[in-house]
Structure 1
Amino acid sequence: MTPHLASGNRQTLAGFAPQHFGWQQQGAVGVVTLDRPERKNPLTFESYAELRDLFRRLAYVDEVGAIVLHGAGGNFCSGGDVHEIIGPLTGMAMPDLLAFTRMTGDLVKAMRASPQPIVAAIDGVCAGAGAILAMASDLRVGTSRSKTAFLFARVGLAGCDMGACAMLPRIVGQGRASDLLYTGRSLGGDEALAWGFLNRLVAPEQLQGEATAWAAEIAAGPGFAHAMTKRMLHQEWSMGVDEAIEAEAQAQAICMMTRDFHRAYEAFVAKQKPVFKGD
């Protein structure tokens, strides 16, 4: 083991076998599959926690450069399982309810803190917490039959769930986010593309291939620099313009010290395509 691995700053996902969702590594792309197709891939207490732990761990993993998040069986995710989450929540005391809502929020925090860009592949039902997972991803590919619904109001809850009131307006705008969060209505694929919630719209049979190819393209890029871009996109939400410009000056100066930056220059001079290694 190399010194930096031994010191605990890096981990490997070799042999990683989660119990509550599927995991496959295709080169530098990690594929997370929400795999309960008979119920449209709902989340459980256990899958929330295990997903949170995976994305936290990815902050220390170099071998994965991008993530694809998708659901099995033609649907993305139907949200929290009615029988395994919603029912039990109605019988919990306030401290336990708060522990649960903080845990779900920690999943979103972990997704945003992981250095790997996340591509969500959205088909069919994408509702409740499933819509949040799509929102918390960096990029979204969908189909015309996808139906995204932040349906919390329809079950007697506020739309301010897992960061939705902070993040969704930044993706689709304040007025459109208000529409979705107050009504809980479904956002179809074509409308989602027009609103900017989806980055790309493809045929259902092309969805997985498109998402994986996009993630592979990102993973083949300068990994350290991509991680810096993701960090800056997140951190600059709370900065003024002057602070953001200074933060980006520092971030870019750090990236100029990487070998990938030098590789890109040398490849340009040699009229070749650079091969990035993330260092």
Structure 2
Amino acid sequence: RGPAAGGGFALALACDVRIAGESARFNAAFIRIGLTACDMGVSYFLPRAVGTSVASELMLTGRFINAQRAFATGLVSELMPDAEVDAAAAKLALEMTETSPLGLRLTKECLSLSIDAGSLEQAVAIEDRNQVLCVRAGYIEEGARAFLEKRKPRYAPRA
């Protein structure tokens, strides 16, 4: 909800998932105060979220992007009334915590690595490694049992 400018924008960009209320606005404010817009990871995350053209427009001008356009460009994954943002974020977080802890961590890692992978083969190699790690950790037994019993899995924390 509301503005996320400069450092706030950078923090939002560093999030894995961004949900916005209708009043949300974002900008790379540093360019407007005599600095570059390339600070706190904005130059890394923004082009990956919205593409080079939109990232260039926002970073070279410091323009605000409103919530509707942020949703249309993929900067945010969901757009909703301001009053619903907290509940939606809590629901999303709960859904993530219902997955195996190792599977969640390795999925995040693999997604980040695959964006810059040099080839499909490199991405698949990371995926294969992560599946082996998850199988060896034993989470698959509870996941399969829960699936067959038509219930949510109850993953025990592992070291």
Distance 2:99 2:47 in 1: 29
Over the matched positions of the two proteins, sequence identity in percent amounts to 31
Deviation at 1:162, TM superposition (A): 1.8
Distance 2:148 2:14 in 1: 39
TM-score (norm 1): 0.53
Q: Would you say the 8 A contact 1:124–1:145 is kept in 2? A: yes
Mark the CA change 1:246 to 1:269 in structure 2 (over 3 Å): closer, same or farther: same
Q: Would you say the 8 A contact 2:98–2:153 is kept in 1? A: no
* Residue 250 of structure 1: aligned partner: 129
**Which of the pair is proportionally richer in helix?**
2
Distance 1:270 1:210 in 2: 28
* Residue 214 of structure 1: aligned partner: 92
Distance 2:26 2:80 in 1: 16
Deviation at 1:220, TM superposition (A): 1.9
* Residue 259 of structure 1: aligned partner: 138
* Residue 154 of structure 2: aligned partner: 275
Distance 1:278 1:228 in 2: 15
- Asked if 1:192 is matched to 2:35, the reply is no
* Residue 57 of structure 2: aligned partner: 179
Quote the RMSD (CA, aligned, Å): 1.5
Deviation at 1:258, TM superposition (A): 2.6
Deviation at 1:163, TM superposition (A): 1.9
Deviation at 1:278, TM superposition (A): 4.5
1:5-84 equivalences under 5 Å are none
Distance 2:43 2:18 in 1: 19
TM-score (norm 2): 0.91
Deviation at 1:243, TM superposition (A): 1.7
Q: Would you say the 8 A contact 1:260–1:278 is kept in 2? A: no
Deviation at 1:254, TM superposition (A): 0.7
Mark the CA change 1:271 to 1:208 in structure 2 (over 3 Å): closer, same or farther: closer
* Residue 228 of structure 1: aligned partner: 106
* Residue 9 of structure 2: aligned partner: 131
* Residue 26 of structure 2: aligned partner: 148
Per the alignment, in what secondary structure is the counterpart of residue 277 of structure 1? coil
Mark the CA change 1:124 to 1:271 in structure 2 (over 3 Å): closer, same or farther: closer
Per the alignment, in what secondary structure is the counterpart of residue 198 of structure 1? coil
Distance 1:124 1:270 in 2: 44
Per the alignment, in what secondary structure is the counterpart of residue 136 of structure 2? coil
**Which of the pair is proportionally richer in strand?**
1
User: Which segments of 5 or more consecutive residues in structure 1 lack a partner in the other structure?
Assistant: 1-122
- Asked if 1:162 is matched to 2:2, the reply is no
Mark the CA change 1:171 to 1:157 in structure 2 (over 3 Å): closer, same or farther: same
Distance 2:66 2:10 in 1: 16
Distance 2:156 2:48 in 1: 32
Per the alignment, in what secondary structure is the counterpart of residue 275 of structure 1? coil
Per the alignment, in what secondary structure is the counterpart of residue 256 of structure 1? helix
